[in-house]
Amino acid sequence: MRFFSVYDVIFHTANMKGHTEKEIYDFLRQFKIRKKDIEEYKMSGVIPSDPKIIEGILSYLGMSLVELELTLGRIPTGYEDNFFTKAKEIAKLISTKKSESKEIENVYEQPFFSTSLGELYNGNCIELLKQVPDNSVDCVFADPPFNLNKEYDTGVNDKLMYSEYINWCIKWLDECVRVLKPGGSLFIYNIPKWHTYLSNYLDQKLNFWSWIAVDMKSGLPIANRLYPAHYSLLYYVKGAKPKTFNNQRMPLQTCRHCGGEIKDYGGYKSKMNPKGVNVSDVWNDIYPVRHSSSKNRKFNELPVKLLDRIISMSTNENDVILDPFGGSGTTFAVSELLNRKWIGFELGNCEIIKERLTNKEKDKKLLEKVYEEKNKLFPSKVAELRKANGFWLSEDFIEDNNNNEDNMIDNGEGFNQLTLSLSKND
């Protein structure tokens, strides 16, 4: 499958006709269409709604609107029933004899760096993914460049055309789907704009499980748009349901001054699970890595807490995690500390990842800090503050909880023994 925009179709037709860019716009000018009117569709997948613009485009292409929609890979509006009832006839029309494929010799790359749990490869993820066997990975986490023209290492292009970016994503997504085990989980971290397209494609391949909103904490306003305040984390499963789902818990939200709970739980206080509140699909407790003391590179870096939650939720010890865009190596560092096996690819600088995995002390401390609050209704400092101000604690209801364990607000444990995993990796 490939994704096309109206802009792509215009320039593909121009190439077939042998027209220059000037000739394209000279033709469209007679319909009072300006160059910028067409360039707006360079980064958009929509068909123009302005009758003047669509008339000029169709005239240049020599197509009807139905033909344009078919060229864009869509079922034309109003023809959905025809496609359903005439599927066999349509299949015959578009089927062509496949050329005999030549057998390609597999040349396996050697890892740039390896540990007892994982292997890191330096290169293009689409080519490297072809080395991974079918149905062999328990979880894939992908954090690709967002195509926002940001600075990355040499070789990483973060300014692709709209359709180029989506088609590139489709290529590596197909490989990720292939390598996932039945019941395996796929997570993709990106901005909502791209996820509307990637989700639409993945709906044909995997089972949608969640769209998780990750609060970005800060950002710059964009003119004529709502203030962008979250990244999205797509969560898909290969098959009917995930083979592993370990419920994750977080502390009750409290006032940092007095320790009082922000939300009133009324008569349900006695039924709160002492291990914390179930994590929802809105994550507002993930903070970006900005301070130089916590960063491993000058570019964007994912927080340890984010990867701990994803890996702990979707895998168990000794399961295999794959990350095709290694970045600073957060996925691999957390996998090591949680005793998960891993496979990693990175097109850019792999030395910083090697250094990070060789010297784990900083990540151990960061993860220990995460576990000071994880799976606890009240962290120790909050508990002390609440006790000093006369607020209830989970211990106040121990007898009630023991007598009414089935009534507790709970749907799973999902607790990881961090200290055990750390000791295993020392």
Q: At residue 150, does pLDDT exceed 70?
A: yes
Parallel, antiparallel or unpaired: strands 180-190 and 230-237: antiparallel
Over the stretch 43-84, which tens digit does the pLDDT of each residue have? 888 999 999 999 999 999 999 999 999 999 888 989 999 888
User: Could you tell me the pLDDT band of residue 300, with boundaries at 50, 70 and 90?
Assistant: confident
How crowded is residue 240: how many other Cβ atoms within 10 Å of its Cβ? 8
Angle between helices 361-371 and 304-314 (to 10 degrees): 70
In whole angstroms, how far apart are CA 333 and each of 40, 274, 316, 402? 42, 29, 16, 38
How crowded is residue 295: how many other Cβ atoms within 10 Å of its Cβ? 14
| pLDDT on residue 412 | 38
Q: Evaluate whether 158 touches 147 at the Cβ level (below 8 Å).
A: yes
Over the stretch 14-44, which tens digit does the pLDDT of each residue have? 999 999 999 999 999 999 999 999 988 888 8
How crowded is residue 44: how many other Cβ atoms within 10 Å of its Cβ? 13
How crowded is residue 168: how many other Cβ atoms within 10 Å of its Cβ? 17
| pLDDT on residue 403 | 47
C-alpha 334/C-alpha 308 separation (Å) is 6
Residue type at 15?
N
DSSP code of 26? H
Q: What are phi and psi of 373, to 5 degrees?
A: -115, -20
C-alpha 235/C-alpha 249 separation (Å) is 18
Task: Write out the H or E segment, with its range, that includes residue 213.
Answer: strand 207-215
